[in-house]
Structure formats: structure tokens, C-alpha cells
Structure 1
Amino acid sequence: MTELLRYALLGLGTGGIYALLGLGLVVIYRGSGVINFAHAGFALVGAYLTYELQTVHGLGLGLSLGTAVLATALLGVLTHHLVLRPLRSASPLARVIATLGILTILTEAIQLKYGAQQLRTESPLPNEAVTVTGDVVVGQYAFWLVGIAAVVTLALTLAGTRTKVGYAISAAAENSRGAAALGWAPDLLASITWAIGGGLAALAGGLFPSTTFGFISPVPFGVLIIGALATALLGGFRSYPLALLGGLALGAAQSATRHWTDQTGVSDAVPFLAIIVVLVLRGRGLPLRGTITDRLPRVGTGRVRPGLVVVLAGGALLWIGLGASVDWYAPTIISTTFALVGLSVVLLTGYAGQLSIAQFALAGIGAFAAGRLAVFHGWPFELALVAGVVVAMLVGLLFGLPALRTRGVNLAVVTFGLGFAVHQIVFSNSDYTANVTPREVRLLGIDIEPIDHARNYALVCLVALVLVSLLVANVRRGRSGRRLLAVRTNERAAAAIGVNVFEAKLYAFTLSAGIAGLGGVLLGFSYATILYPQLFQPGASITVLVSTVIGSTGYLAGPFIGAISAPGGLITLLGGNGPATASAALQDGTTWQSFLPLASGLVLILTLIASQHGVAESIDASTRGLRSRIPGLRPAKAAPLPATERSTVAPRSLEVRGLTQRFGVFTALDDVSLTVAPGQVVGLLGPNGAGKTTLIDCVSGNNRLSGGTISWDGRDVTRWAPYRRARAGLSRSFQSLELFDDLTVRENLLAAADRRDRLAYLTDLVHPGRSRMPATVVAAVEELGLAPLLDTRAEDLSYGQRRLVAIARAVASSPSVLLLDEPAAGLDETESAELGRLVRRLADEWGMGILLIEHDVALVLENADRVVVLDFGRVIAEGAPAEVRTDPAVRRAYLGEEAAPEAEAGSPVSVG
């Protein structure tokens, strides 16, 4: 027990560093809503600037550290104004990726100047031993760091609760627009918090040598950011005292773990485990702040032009096979395997919207499994390759499980820690990775050993890249691709059209992991000995993400563009003396090639600011006119609409009984009951705040009921998930539309009309096929005049057009019961009349039951068979339109007064 206590107290020093870094992350998040993944870079700048001033130039500790803190605070302000502010309308994922670019720039700049070796400096805090009790002796620096972190915590807490600026920052954390409405400039608040956050990172970096007895190097700072993220998460990215306690607890737990086990890297994984506990088991992620102008990167069509593929792929194979010199082989191997991992980023981040910063870790896992099976168990290369891919897919499935509980930026935090944990526990452990030297590498009887037959190996890598590119293109065009893009754009809307969101996410994680694993196996086997710690570093995942974002995460060409600049890749040939082997490429760190990672970070920032869509999208947009005049490159012709055939949907009825919905002490719905029968239009009226949209949210499964039941054709579906209700035939539209903006109108409709079979996840890989719109959708398209817009992106439509598309998409799955939430809002008189005719046609000709919510009372009364009126969450009237039109309670609800005698005669405006 004494030994455990000693280890825990020894960890307080690291815990103090975690606390300072975590406090900085919390400050920045509270002021700008950004999780700063570049925080380790800020700490690195602070550490080395302090070293430069104190050790090299001989200044005192106080002056050196103070200067470093002020300089890094300024760096934080510049980061906000020069990078994050121009990206304020970009997606939250783009802003996170921008901070990764900043991290790359800072770390590479430090390494270019000082190298990666350890440097000796003076310890900034006293290291004399202090006897705590008995045999427990701890260095003074640990208590100094705890005290400094506690003072900073107290200062931040008092500033946040006792000053006007602190109140404003707290208000902005809750509602940035509200704070702006009160006269506070969001940019000023963000600048203050970025300055404080940057200064705290520099303070932590400058004091860090106390925990390493005066040594600094860039390597530990990458691990520190995981602890800092875990610390901030333990504080909910909100509470300074909880962040302090969380950081100290993490440091103590990490140190105590060393007492329990000497297994390499296990103690370094403690912060990652804390991240998993907080984000996954808690079931809540960080509230992300954005604006209505947030836009995701655009996605390509995935169209394959056979002639172009034959020319480009055939030309590359012929050049490597017959024309290229030996200098081309190693760079080709590196760039193709890098592009394979980049394709996994396109599938996962570009198509599914899941930001993973662990793709090279998955690549390494594939190489790890294949390497050990081939070397220590004698498996032939073909079987080892397949096994490596399968193992990577299984681990990817496991990694994807956090996606069931969190997403987006929150998932990035999980995978960021995951990459470090895998590297520290597996790849850095020589017991697992030493002496993995493949003896014979043969594929289908052909010798492809990469040293003596590098040309053959390069050809194999090229063929693999072409095949995987076709596979990813097929996914984009198929049913599975539309599901992924629906999930990426709007998970709630995806579930409302019958997409199982969790299933789609797991598919994306699993398939992308397999692609990354393939790239990792081919990269690993290209060396005489597989160098896991060097090849599959955590920073490699950041590098491939940065390069793919530059190229375009949503376009197949993106990874190809990014892979050219891969370290040791094809770009090295520009120097005229490219490396002869992959091994030499790994060790080549001289001349201009050393600046490539730094240049990539700079290019990423410039690319995101100019257009977050990437280079490939810019090329696609700028050459569209030229390509339209070249046969074979012209856009695909629009498929004609099929002829409509009158039929009926499956007749099912919806019954709601005693539905009650409370939000805290507020009751939004109170004992509401209604029935929607096949072929019946039920109008739902009520003033604003009556609970109409809440009713639809409850019926469609988006809200958990406080009481009551929902029956579907006599079967209780109260606990069914939204996607399951949609598949059963219960469809809805949204008041806020929630279209899939990255898809065309046709794809929006097909996404809703597609079969929900799981077989598509396999068949789409080789043959995505063509989907036809059902007759009900064709009828809606014709009735609403959407035919000319079918191949237009939803984001390019006017508001009125978007609303019509939202209605058509709700109809697309041929539901038995359709819930329409204010479909006529924003439509003109002609469009409203067309909508009314469509509603009656769907009920009369197709047999749909329709629940129609509308503020256009005339539209409801003219087209509904029955009308239900809500007020303050209760049903106040129900019956035929003629009865409801003259009901005194309805008039009181709308006008707040008793019905006038003339209203009793039945004027439609009596409830208008």
C-alpha cells in the first residue's frame, strides 16, 4: 500500500501538467466552441522557447517563461483570427482538422530547428525530495505543479463568476448568439480565451522539464495531449475545478499503473481509457457550436468512366512495368499504400462523416497480424494479406462501437487517443514487433519480394489501388453509399427514412478499416524488416488525414492528390535522385524533403480557408464546362421517370392513446389520443406552442414518451426506434426540412425509396446497380413540378423548392401513414394548391393515411376528413371540418375570445 501511495504521489507532477493543459482546452472551448488539437503544439512552443531563452541565451527562468507564455498567447490569438475565424461557416469537422494542421506546422517547425533528440535544460522547479510519510518520498516539483494548477483554477473560476467578461464567456458557452445580442463581440471573447489557453499551454510546456529532470524532446508532448483531452472531458469542457481534479487523478492513476504492471505502454493508455469512460459510457458528447451556414465538404458522384480508367490505370501500369527506372519503384509503393489509407478516410470521413484520427493505427494492425502470421507461423503471403485485412476489419468494428454513443468531433477525440494507445502498447513493444522479417513474398506463384523484385511489388500495389478505388466508387453510387451520406448529413432525418444509423456507421468503420489494413500490409511488407514503431506512428494518421483533406475527402481523386506528397513518395522524384528502396525512403530526411510535412500543414490551412472542399472539387468545378464538350467525360444523362401505375400502399392504421410528453416540469402534451386510418387525412391544428410538432416527434420515435402508447395496426410500437417505424411504413417530414444537402434531388428521393436490405452492403462493392423511383414518388414529382430539378443538389435549391422536395422525400418510401409537419410553410398560393391536390391524391388513390399539421387552416379544412385541435398540449376539439370550424373552444384558442354570433354560422376565418 505504501508503494502504491508513493507511485500515486509521484504522478501528481504529471497530473499538474495535465491540469494546466486541460484548463487551457476548457478555456478555449468555452470561448470559441473549438476543441484545440493543436494544444500540444502550443505547449511544445512554450517549452522550446523557454529552453532557447533560458539555456541558450542565458536569461532568467521568470523572464524566459514569462516571454514564452506571452508569445504563445499571441500565437493563440493569431490562430483564432487567421485560421478559425475564416472557417466559422465551415463544418465543425473542418475546424478540428484545421487545428490538426496547426499542430503539424508547430511540431514540424520545432523538429526542423531542434531535431527529435533530447535536450538538456535546467529544471524550472525545485527537485529536492520531500518525505510525506514513512518511506514515501516525493520530489518538491510535484507539489509546486499542483499548487500552480490550483492557483490557475481558482483564478479562472473567480474570473468566470465575478467579472463581466467571465459572465460573457459563460453566456457565450451557452448561447453565442445571445451573448452577441447583449453587445459582446464573439471575436473578442474568443480572442481572450485563445490567448489564455495558449498561455496556459506554454506554462505547462515550460514547467514540463521538472517532471523529466531537465530533459525535453518533441515525443512526450504528443502523449500529453491525450491526457489533456481526458482532463478537459472529466471537467465536461466546462468546469475548471473538475478539470483540476480530473488531471490530478489521471496523473496519479497513470503513475499507480506502473506499480501494477511493467507492460510497455499500459500506463500511457490510462488517459485514453478515461476518454472512453467519459464519452462512451456516459452516452453524451460535447455540444458542438455551429451556425446555420455550416457546410460539410462536398462529395463526388462516384461515377466511373471506363475509358478514363483504362487510360490512366493502364498507362501507370505500363510505365512502372516497362518504362520507369528503379528510382520509381519505392516512391510508387509508398504513394500507392498511402493513397489506400487515404481512400479509407474518404469512405469514413467523406461519405459517413465520422472523423477518425487512427487510420494508420488500423493500417499497422493489419500489417501486425499479417507480419506475424507470415514470419512466425509460415503463412503464405496471400493468406497473410487476407488475414491482415480481416483482423483490421474486426478491430475497426470494435473501434466503431464508440460511434454508437458519440459522433463527429467527439469521435475524433476517441480515435485520437486510440491511435496513441495502440502505438504505445503494441507497436512500441519489442516483444511483439522485433524481428518481423518476411522471408519469401510471393503472390500467385510470382516473386514480388520488394528488395530484389521491387517492380513487381510496385505493380501489385498499383493494381490494389485501382481495385479499391473502383470499390469505393461503387459504394458511393449504391444504396449503401446513399445511406452513409444520409447519416453524414443528418442522422435524425436518416433514421426517419428507415436508415439504421448505427448499422451504417459500423459498416463504414469496418470497411474503411479493411481498406486501411490492406494499405498497411502492403506498406509493411515493402521493407526487409517491418519497422512498426517508425512506419505506424500516431502522427502518420494525422499526415494521411491532412493530405486527403487537401486533395478532397469527398472525391476519389483526393487521396491520389494527397499521396503524391507522402513522405518518401512520388514527390521525392522531383529532386532527381529519388530513393532506390523503400527502406532508404524511410531514412531519407535531408534537403527540401524534410520540409514536406511542414508545407503540408501550411497547404492544409490555405486549402481549408480557400475552400474546405479540397483541390479535387475545385478542379471538378472549374473543368465542368470543358468536360461537358468531350465525349466520355460528359455528365451522365438523367434517367427518365418511369411511368406511374396506380396501386395502393399497405393499409395500416396509426393509433395514439393517452400520449403525454413532459420536459422537466413543463407538460408539452397531456393525454392526447387520435387515430389515422388508411386513406384518411387527419388535420392537426393549434396555435404556436400547442404541441403539434412534439406530437410528430413522439409518434415517429424521436422523443421518449412520459406516458401513453403508440399502436401500429394494433401492435404496440412505443419502444420502437425511429428507423424501425419508418421501415414499417410510418414516414414523416420535418418542419426544418432537414434535406441531405450533399445529394441531388433524385438521390434524396432514392435514399428514402431504397430497399433496406443488408445485402446491399456487400453487393454494392462490386455492382451498385440502378434504383428506380416507386410510382408514388413519380406522382409526387409530377404533381409538385420537381422533374427539372432531379439532378440539382439540394443545397442549390430555393427555400420553396426545398420544401417541396422534403414533401416528396417523405412520400418516397410509399408509407402507409405519412406525417406532414407544416408542409406549406413558405409556399405561395399556387404551390399550396398543388400540395393540397397531392395530399388528397395520396389518400384517395394510394390509400395513405395522412396526419397534416398546418398553420394554413384553409388548406387543412379543405382537404382533411377529420380535424383535431390542440391547445397547450390538450385536445380541445375533434370532428369533421365543418364542426371544428364553428367550435367556440377553437376560436378562443386562436383569438383568445368567445366566438362572435356571426362566427357560429361557419366562416373559415373563424379559426384562421
Structure 2
Amino acid sequence: MAELLGVAVLGLGLSALYALSSLGLVLTYRGSGVVNFAQGAIGLCAAFVWFELHVNGSWPFGLAVLVAVVAAAAAGALIHLGLMRPLRTASSIARTVVTLGLLITLQALVILRYGPVVNTVPSTLPTDPWILGAVTVPADRLILIAVALVLTVALWVVYRFSGFGRSTSAVAEDQTLAAAVGVSPDVVAAANWALSSALSALAAILVAPIITLHASSMTTLVIGALAIALIAGFRSFPVAFVASIVLGIGQTLLTRFVDQPGAAAAAPFLVMIVVMTVRGRAIPLRDHPFAKQPRVGSGRIRPAPIVAAALVTTVLVLVLSEAWVLAIGTTLAVSTFLLSFVVLVGYVGQISLAQWPLAGFGAWVAGRLMAAHGVPFLPAALIGVAATVALAIVIALPAVRVRGINLAIVTFGLGAVLEFLLFTNSDYTGGIGGTAVDMELFGWSFDGGLHPYRYVSVTFVVLVALALVVTNVRRGLVGRRMLAVRTNERAAAALGIGVTSVKLYGFALAAGIAAVGAVLVTFSVGIVDYHQFSSFQSTVYLGLAYLGGIGFVAGPLLGAPLGPGTVGAQFGKDVLVGLGEYLPLIGGIALVLTVVANQDGMAHDLARVSRRVAARLGLGDRAIRQPARAALVSRPGQERERVRPSTLAVSGLSVRYGGTTVLDGVSLDVRPGEVVGLIGPNGAGKTTLIDSITGFTRPTAGSVTLDGAELAGRSPSARARAGISRAFQSLELFEDLTALENIIAATDPASRSCYVTDLVRPAPVRLGPGVTDAVREFRLEDDLDRPASDLPYGRRRLLAIARAVASGPSVLLLDEPAAGLSGEESRELARVVRRLADEWGMAVLLIEHDVEFVMDTCDRLVVLDFGRVISSGEPGEVRRDPAVVEAYLGGESAALAMRTEATS
């Protein structure tokens, strides 16, 4: 027992390290909404400044600490003002990647200045053992945990009770509203960046004597701190401190008593994964922000670039040395791996930092099958790819419940688990020397070291084949589903798209591509060193994919040359001697500048220039949607088919959040060909009722039925396929898609075979009568080829309703469809809604605050107040109900105004 207690107390040292690092991460996120992956690198640079001044320069300890901390604070403020402020409206992918670029840049600077040498730093804190009963513990551990506790309390007090803390909370809640009341979001964010960077510097200086000082010491530490900050929700300082205590002691105990290499290092991430799986949601709440995503390519196959690339590659291979040929082959192999980011991050919008370790798993399976069991290369590689796909699906099951930066950290943790438990254990990887492999197919070896020309040929063919697969996916039904999920998960689910299945497919396909790329990269020299499959290297590769253009198939080929062993490294060796060691620095700086200047990557610029050149040469592309547009002409002599009649019934529906009742026993029904208005004051629970009907909110009591069939337990996408469609109050369009693609997304068949067939031959776009009718009904013919984000507000709102109508639902739910429309537009929309009920046969449930719109359109009204139905009946009856006049209309004057308006 004494030994157990003693080991636990020793774990307080690690707890202090985690606490000091995680507090800085929480600070940055609270002030700017950014998770700073470069937090440890900033502290590392400050620690080396202190090391130069105090250890090498004999400056007084306190003065050296002050200079280093002030320098870090200034750097933090400059990072926000110069890099993060221009990206405040950018996607979470862009903000994540720019901090990864900073991490790469700062770490490269440290390596260039100090090399990989481990510097032992003398302790500035007393290290004499303190005897606490039967336990002996070094004094510096207790001092560090005391410092962490004091800082935690101080930060909690400041951010809870001070004006600065209230300003930070206001900015975190709503930057626009905070600015309106005189709080500058930029000043608050810069101050928090400065404080978090200063805290990172202080933490690095204090812990350097314990963990030594070298290029990766602090960046490794911040990996665990990220897990703790995520557990704390990036908001709570006390929770971060407590989590640091628990995990620090837990890791120390695991190190001492568990004989499994890597188990202790993986512990924080295993805890984090469990926490986020329980805490996450399959579909985001309706207040989830949807930031602009990087652009994506059209997926059109252009033979000319493929032929040109083949000719250029052939010429280079014939004229260059074998070393250059191997570098070209490695570049093509790295490009193949980077294609996985195009699928998962570019198309599906899932920020994964586990791609390289995950791909390494496939290489590990293939390598061990070959080395230990004599399995030939091809079947071993195929088994490795299949195993990677299976593992990716297992990993994706918890990952699909989180999104954005939380997903990035969870996948980073999953990659770290693989790294710590598998790749750093020589018992599993063939010993210190690695695993010997030979890429041989039917007696034909294409080992890169022995046969570089064959290696280039194979990597080129594989890259082209997988690039065609990715372009096919982009053009097909699966690609539309992916982009819909990427842009807006709630809207995708409301159209019947299985959000979870799309994400799982994206993870699986990307993992398979990544495994192929990893095998080609790591098997090229005959010996596989599995230590290279680190989580940090995964962040580097993500940066390269983003640099090239993460939404374009050509992007990987543009970003790959900055990777290790590629033509960029060879150029540094042969042409600019010594440049190779600067390659990480060049890549990091290029990545940061690219994200700030152009979030769409080099491939987007290249495509834009190519279109301009083609246009000047008279070779411009023909409109690719002309056949689709031709199908939208009127169909004389054909009557519109009525939808399948169904009755929606809500009985005793209640929704509670904690102790707050939002809906209390609501009952109503909507019959075919009928428009029922749902009205009530703001906060009455109207949108919550629609969310409950469509499956986005789980009721605490009551039932929702469609033609008597209970819908409880069915997902939003399943309810959409059953015939319930909705238009959102906030529109929630697929901003990356054109107006036509938005509408088509609602009518795509619910096919699962497309997940296979689209890999080879994507199905052509076929427009059903519902699309034609919806476009004509809402007069969107002239807007079909325009991106949804470019449409004026009135057209965007009509597009949102047309998308909900196109699938021909039996029940249509409209949430304030006339909001923001002019008087004439509202009257026209009212006539369209009536036609949807009278001519299409839909059952329409309508939420609207426009009194004239409601009175002219609805057959019946249901009035909610504080979640209860206070009146229902025909519009004339409800209009005269005293309870409605008092609760909804606000008194006699409003009632008089309403009567006057209705009779005018």
C-alpha cells in the first residue's frame, strides 16, 4: 500500500505538467475559439530562450524567465493579429491547419538551431525529498502541483468575476453581439493568446529540468494536454486541473504496475475517446455553426492532364539519375496516400489526424504477414488494406459522434494509441531493425532501391487508378451525399441521407487509399521502420494535402514534393546542397502563408488559371449541366402527380431539458391536402415541435405517427424516407453545391449499391418529375447553375423550400418560410403553399409570424404558449379566442389590428 501511495504521489509531477499545459490550451480556446496545436512549440521556443540566457548566458533566473515569458506573450498576440484574425470566418479545418503549420515551423527552427541533442537542464526548484508519513516525494513535484493549483484558482477567479473574464465569455458566446456592446473580439482574443503563450512558456521552463529540453519534448507533452483540455470542454479550468491530477497519477501507476509498453502513454487518449463518445451527438444541435469549407473540384476527368503527367514523368525518368527516379516514385506514393485526405477531409469534411498511423496499421499487417508467415506481397498487401478498412470503421464508430476540432483531437488521440501500443513496441514490429519486405509480383520485383524504374511505373499506375476512383466518387451520388454531409449534417439527415453511413464510408474509403499509399511509401527500400508512423507525421501530411488543395484530386501531387524522400528533398541534396534540412521549415512557412492567403490550396489557383488559358484559346468547357437543364422544360399535357396521402398525428408530446419543460402534452394532426398553421410567441416551442416530429429532438413523452405507424426510435433520415420533409428556419442549404445540386440531393435514390458502383462508374444525374415541378413551381430556372451561397436571400429561401418539396413528401413542415421576404414575395409564396396542399395533396404544417400569410393560407390553426396548446380551430375562431389575443397577439390593440388587417 505504501508503494502504491508513493507512486501515486510521484505522479503529481506529471499531473502538474499536464495542468500547466492544458490551462494554456483552455485559455486560447476561450478567447478565440482556436485549439492551438502549436502551444507546446511556443513554450519550447521560450524555454530555449531562457536556456540561452540563464544556462548559457548566466543571466539571473528571474530575469531570464521574465524575458522568455514576455517574448512568448508578444509572440502569442502577434500570432492572433497576423494569422488568426484573418481566419476568423474560415473553417475549423483552416484554423487547425494554420496552427499545425506553426507547430512544424517552430519545431523546424529549434532543430535547425539546436539539432536533435537532448539538453539536461539543472533544476531551479528544490529537489530535496519530502517525507510525508511513509511516502517520500521530491519537493519540486509538490511545488509544481502547488503552482498549477494557484494558477487554476487565479484563472477561475479572473474569468468568472472580472470584467475581462466577462468580456471573454461574451466574445465566446457571440462575437457580433459582443462588438455591438463595445467589446472588441480582436483585443480579447489577442490578450488571451498572449496569456496562454506566456503560461506555456512558464510551464516549459518549470518542467524542463524534469523532462529535459529537446526538439520534441514540449510538443509531445501537449498531446496529453490536448486530451485533458478536451475532457474539460476547453472551458473549465477546475475540470482541467482535476483531470490532470487523475490522468497524471493514473499514467504513473500504469507505468509502474502494468507490463505493457505504451499503455501508460495511451491512457489519456483512451479516456478521452470514451468521454467524447458518450458526450458526442450523431447529429449536431440546431445552433451548431457551419463555417465555410475549402472549395472542392468538380470531379471531371480530363484526359489531357493525365497524358501530360505520364509524358513528363517518362521524360524525367529517362534523363535523371536513379536517386531522382526513386524520389519521383516516392513523390507519387506520397501523393497516393494524400488522396485519402481529399476523400475524408475535402469531401466529407472530417478532420482526421490519424491517417498516417492508421495507414501504418495496414503496412504493419502486410509486412508481418510477409516477414513472419511468408505470404506473397500482393495478398499480404490486400489483407493489410482490408484490415485497415475494418479498423477505420471501428475507429469511426466513436469518431462520427464528434465533429470539427473535437474530431481532430479524437483522431489525433486514436493515432497516438496506435503509435504507443503498436509501433513503438519492437516485439510487434520485427525488432529494432524493423521488418524486411520485398515488393514482388509474379516474380517481378519493383523494390524502389533495387529497381527504381519499375517502382516509378507501379506508383504512377496506382496513383492514376486511385485518382480516377476519387473523381468518380466526387461526380456520383456518393459525392453529393458527402458534400451534403460536409456542409450541413442536419439538412442532409432531413433529406433522408444517412449521415452516419456516409461518414463511415468516407473513413473506410480514405483508410483503404491511405493503406495503399503507406505500403508504397514504406516498402520501397526493403526495410520497414514502423517508428515513422507517428501522430505528428500525420499532421505534417495533412498540412501537405491542404497546401496542395485538399478538395482537389490534383492537390496531393502539388503538396507531396515537400514530403520526406520526395523530389523536394532530392532537390535540396543535389541542386541546393543543404536545402534538404530546411525542407520542414519551408513546408511549415508555405503552409501558414497558403492558409492565410488562399484556403483552397494551390490546385484551386491552378484550375482557375487553366480555365482562363483554355477560354483564351477557345477551348473552354461546355456547360456540364445542359442535359439536366433541358430536362427541366415544361411538360405540356401532363398533370402533376399527387403525393402519397398520409396523415401526421402528434399525441401528448412533451420535451424537457433538465428542469425546463419546452413542450407539454402537445397534440395535433395534419391531414392530406390541408395546411395547418402553428403559431405562438417566440420561445413557445414551435421549432422544438418540428425537431421532435423529424427526429432531431427526442421527446420525453408522447408519440408521433404517420398513418398510424409509430415513428419513435427512427432516425431523421428514416423519417424523411417515410415521407416527412422540412424546410429550416435558418435555411441550412448546402452552400458548396449549386441550386440544382441542392434540389437533386433531395431526390437521389436511397441506394447502397452506389457505394460500390460509384467507385468505377458513377451513375448519371437523372431528374425526376419532382425536381422539374419544384424548379418550375418556385421559378428557379435561371438560378440552377449558381452556387447556393451566391443567391440573394429571397431566392435562397425559395430554394430551401423547393429542396424540401422536390422529393414529393406526404408531409411538409415549413418553419417561417416567409421570413425576410417582401410583401409581394410573401403573397406569391402563400399561393404556392396552397397549391402544394390543393394540387400536390401534401399535408402542410406551417410555422409563421406573418399574420396575413397565416390567415390567407391555413385551413386550421394551432396556438402554442409556453409549450402548451392554448387554442386550435379555424383561423376565424382562433383569431377571436381571448387566450390567443392575450398570449400571442399581446392585448386588445394587437387584436384590433389583426381584425382590421384580416378584413382589409
**After TM superposition, is the score higher than 0.5?**
yes
Deviates more, 1:623-632 or 1:343-352: 623-632
Deviates more, 1:569-578 or 1:340-349: 569-578
Once the two structures are superposed, what CA deviation does each residue of 1:112-162 show, in whole Å capped at 9, x if it has no partner? 11011212332232333333343x432222112112212222322332344
Residue 324 (structure 2) aligned to one of 328, 332, 350: 328
The answer on whether the counterparts of 1:403 and 1:505 sit within 8 Å (CA) in structure 2 is no
Q: In structure 1, what is the Cα distance between the partners aligned to 2:361 and 2:798?
A: 48
Q: Secondary structure at the match of 2:111?
A: helix
Does residue 1:808 correspond to 2:802, yes or no?
yes
Q: Secondary structure at the match of 1:106?
A: helix
Q: In structure 1, what is the Cα distance between the partners aligned to 2:735 and 2:897?
A: 45
Structure 2 residue aligned with 1:557: 554
The answer on whether the counterparts of 1:4 and 1:259 sit within 8 Å (CA) in structure 2 is no
Q: Secondary structure at the match of 2:482?
A: helix
Structure 1 residue aligned with 2:782: 788
Q: How much does 1:203 deviate?
A: 1.2
Structure 2 residue aligned with 1:261: 258
Q: In structure 2, what is the Cα distance between the partners aligned to 1:664 and 1:425?
A: 40
Q: How much does 1:55 deviate?
A: 2.0
Q: In structure 1, what is the Cα distance between the partners aligned to 2:320 and 2:894?
A: 92
**Structure 2 CA distance for partners of 1:458 and 1:2, relative to 1, 3 Å:** farther
Corresponding letter in the other structure for 2:260:
Q
Residue 271 (structure 1) aligned to one of 250, 268, 271: 268
Corresponding letter in the other structure for 1:259:
R
| TM alignment of 1:851-870, pairs within 5 A | 851-870=845-864
| TM alignment of 1:360-509, pairs within 5 A | 360-433=356-429, 434=431, 435-438=433-436, 440-509=438-507
Corresponding letter in the other structure for 1:392:
T
Structure 2 residue aligned with 1:75: 75
Deviates more, 1:866-875 or 1:805-814: 866-875
Deviates more, 1:201-210 or 1:665-674: 665-674
Corresponding letter in the other structure for 2:480:
R
Q: In structure 2, what is the Cα distance between the partners aligned to 1:759 and 1:287?
A: 27
**Structure 2 CA distance for partners of 1:429 and 1:845, relative to 1, 3 Å:** same
**Structure 2 CA distance for partners of 1:501 and 1:777, relative to 1, 3 Å:** same
Q: Percent identity?
A: 46
Residue 300 (structure 1) aligned to one of 297, 301, 307: 297
Q: How much does 1:368 deviate?
A: 0.7
Deviates more, 1:73-82 or 1:169-178: 169-178
| TM alignment of 1:445-844, pairs within 5 A | 445-533=443-531, 535-575=532-572, 577=574, 591-628=578-615, 630-631=618-619, 633-638=621-626, 639=628, 640-642=630-632, 644=635, 646-844=640-838
Corresponding letter in the other structure for 1:443:
L
Deviates more, 1:852-861 or 1:742-751: 852-861
Once the two structures are superposed, what CA deviation does each residue of 1:219-257 show, in whole Å capped at 9, x if it has no partner? 332321122112323433222233222212222111111
Q: How much does 1:796 deviate?
A: 0.8
Q: How much does 1:766 deviate?
A: 1.0
The answer on whether the counterparts of 1:354 and 1:411 sit within 8 Å (CA) in structure 2 is yes
Q: In structure 2, what is the Cα distance between the partners aligned to 1:274 and 1:670?
A: 38
Q: In structure 2, what is the Cα distance between the partners aligned to 1:200 and 1:287?
A: 33
The answer on whether the counterparts of 1:403 and 1:502 sit within 8 Å (CA) in structure 2 is no
The answer on whether the counterparts of 1:352 and 1:505 sit within 8 Å (CA) in structure 2 is yes
Structure 2: stretches of 5+ with no match in the other structure: none
Q: In structure 2, what is the Cα distance between the partners aligned to 1:817 and 1:800?
A: 24
Q: How much does 1:352 deviate?
A: 1.0
Q: Secondary structure at the match of 2:527?
A: coil
Structure 1 residue aligned with 2:201: 202
Number of equivalences = 895
Structure 1 residue aligned with 2:337: 341
Compute the TM-score of the two structures, normalised by the length of structure 1.
0.93
Residue 222 (structure 2) aligned to one of 202, 225, 242: 225
Corresponding letter in the other structure for 1:619:
L
The answer on whether the counterparts of 1:317 and 1:459 sit within 8 Å (CA) in structure 2 is no
**Structure 2 CA distance for partners of 1:289 and 1:843, relative to 1, 3 Å:** closer
Once the two structures are superposed, what CA deviation does each residue of 1:323-356 show, in whole Å capped at 9, x if it has no partner? 5542332212221122122111111111111111
**Structure 2 CA distance for partners of 1:895 and 1:393, relative to 1, 3 Å:** closer
Q: In structure 2, what is the Cα distance between the partners aligned to 1:657 and 1:706?
A: 12
**Structure 2 CA distance for partners of 1:300 and 1:835, relative to 1, 3 Å:** same
| TM alignment of 1:114-263, pairs within 5 A | 114-134=114-134, 136-212=135-211, 215-263=212-260
Q: Secondary structure at the match of 1:116?
A: coil
Q: In structure 2, what is the Cα distance between the partners aligned to 1:117 and 1:728?
A: 64
Structure 2 residue aligned with 1:909: 902
The answer on whether the counterparts of 1:733 and 1:819 sit within 8 Å (CA) in structure 2 is yes
Once the two structures are superposed, what CA deviation does each residue of 1:401-454 show, in whole Å capped at 9, x if it has no partner? 222321110011112222233222222222222344445422244321222211
Q: How much does 1:470 deviate?
A: 0.9
Q: In structure 2, what is the Cα distance between the partners aligned to 1:872 and 1:221?
A: 53
**Structure 2 CA distance for partners of 1:880 and 1:869, relative to 1, 3 Å:** same
Q: In structure 1, what is the Cα distance between the partners aligned to 2:357 and 2:546?
A: 18
Q: How much does 1:634 deviate?
A: 4.5
Q: In structure 2, what is the Cα distance between the partners aligned to 1:879 and 1:288?
A: 32
Q: Secondary structure at the match of 1:119?
A: coil
Structure 1 residue aligned with 2:11: 11
**Structure 2 CA distance for partners of 1:168 and 1:488, relative to 1, 3 Å:** same
**Structure 2 CA distance for partners of 1:598 and 1:371, relative to 1, 3 Å:** same
Q: How much does 1:794 deviate?
A: 0.7
Q: Secondary structure at the match of 1:121?
A: coil
Q: In structure 1, what is the Cα distance between the partners aligned to 2:230 and 2:688?
A: 32
The answer on whether the counterparts of 2:485 and 2:492 sit within 8 Å (CA) in structure 1 is yes
**Structure 2 CA distance for partners of 1:450 and 1:902, relative to 1, 3 Å:** closer
Q: Secondary structure at the match of 2:116?
A: coil
Q: In structure 1, what is the Cα distance between the partners aligned to 2:766 and 2:666?
A: 39
Q: How much does 1:473 deviate?
A: 1.0
The answer on whether the counterparts of 1:352 and 1:487 sit within 8 Å (CA) in structure 2 is yes
The root-mean-square deviation of aligned C-alpha atoms, in Å, is 2.7
Q: How much does 1:696 deviate?
A: 1.5
**Structure 2 CA distance for partners of 1:758 and 1:42, relative to 1, 3 Å:** same
Compute the TM-score of the two structures, normalised by the length of structure 2.
0.94
Once the two structures are superposed, what CA deviation does each residue of 1:300-332 show, in whole Å capped at 9, x if it has no partner? 211112x32542343255336655542332212
Q: How much does 1:773 deviate?
A: 2.4
Once the two structures are superposed, what CA deviation does each residue of 1:657-706 show, in whole Å capped at 9, x if it has no partner? 12233445544433322222223222333444443323222211222223
**Structure 2 CA distance for partners of 1:630 and 1:762, relative to 1, 3 Å:** farther
Structure 2 residue aligned with 1:64: 64
**Structure 2 CA distance for partners of 1:903 and 1:88, relative to 1, 3 Å:** closer
| TM alignment of 1:29-108, pairs within 5 A | 29-108=29-108
Q: In structure 2, what is the Cα distance between the partners aligned to 1:658 and 1:416?
A: 45
Q: How much does 1:62 deviate?
A: 2.1
The answer on whether the counterparts of 1:784 and 1:834 sit within 8 Å (CA) in structure 2 is no
Q: How much does 1:809 deviate?
A: 0.6
Corresponding letter in the other structure for 1:472:
V
Q: In structure 2, what is the Cα distance between the partners aligned to 1:907 and 1:34?
A: 53
Deviates more, 1:63-72 or 1:635-644: 635-644
Structure 2 residue aligned with 1:314: 310
Corresponding letter in the other structure for 1:702:
F
The answer on whether the counterparts of 1:888 and 1:899 sit within 8 Å (CA) in structure 2 is no
Q: In structure 2, what is the Cα distance between the partners aligned to 1:687 and 1:566?
A: 59
The answer on whether the counterparts of 1:279 and 1:285 sit within 8 Å (CA) in structure 2 is no
Q: How much does 1:823 deviate?
A: 1.6
**Structure 2 CA distance for partners of 1:678 and 1:46, relative to 1, 3 Å:** same
Deviates more, 1:874-883 or 1:775-784: 874-883
**Structure 2 CA distance for partners of 1:175 and 1:843, relative to 1, 3 Å:** closer
